Amino acid sequence: MTPDVGQFIQGMCKTMEEVILPTVGDSFAQEQAKLIIGTLRFLDTVQDMQYPYEAVENEEYRKILRALSEASLRCERTNVLRSLLDEVKTHLAQEAGLKEHGPRSYRSLRQSNIVMKRLLCGILRTVEELPASIDGLVKEFTKQQLRRERAWMRSLGKDPGTPENLEEVLFGDGEYAKQGR
């Protein structure tokens, strides 16, 4: 695909810097144009990491939800929990079907992750106590989620204390790295 998204973004930055910015006299408008250029540069930096980020997250959500659906969970609101677990099973079956058909769109992955996040949060709010093995999985899931979020924010320059960059976090280990990106 030529030009690719990165080339379009770089072209917009170049046009903003070389054509538009020099003709803008108002200092506030110049400041806003520079902010747009900075945002475009950020998008150029992270746009190729967006899909892998969602793919890794999708894999982790499926893993934790599969474990929760197979565990013996206790709660007083059994109807709510049963409904959530039925929804998990249905969604995981749909996910398995989609995975068999090859690559999927970013939007499809993102929407699936939104659904799975809602289901996970619903289950965790409903269950009184998690079995120790599941509690450990939830803690590891949370740790990895925070690790990805911090690496993403580092790309923005918002969390410079994060030792890892986004590419290391996404491709350094885990299922997505094993698939060869």
- The single-letter code of the amino acid at 158 is K
Residue 42: strand, helix, or coil: helix
Q: Judge whether 124 and 100 are in contact, CB under 8 Å.
A: no
CA-to-CA distance for 14 and 169, rounded, in angstroms?
A: 30
Token pair of 93 as six digits: 């079956």
Neighbours of 132 (CB within 10 A): 8
Tens of pLDDT, residues 26-68 = 999 999 999 999 889 888 888 888 889 999 999 999 999 999 9
Q: Locate tokens 């108002």: which residue?
A: 26
Q: Locate tokens 């491709």: which residue?
A: 171
CA-to-CA distance for 79 and 76, rounded, in angstroms?
A: 9
Q: DSSP letter at 2?
A: -
Higher pLDDT, 48 or 122: 122
The predicted model gives 100-123 an average pLDDT of 90
Tens of pLDDT, residues 65-96 = 999 988 887 777 788 988 999 999 999 999 88
Question: Which of left, alpha, beta for 20 (phi over 0: left; psi -120 to 50: alpha)?
Answer: alpha
Tens of pLDDT, residues 95-107 = 888 777 778 888 9
Mean pLDDT of the chain: 85
Give pLDDT, residue 1: 65
Domain boundaries, the chain: 5-48, 49-178
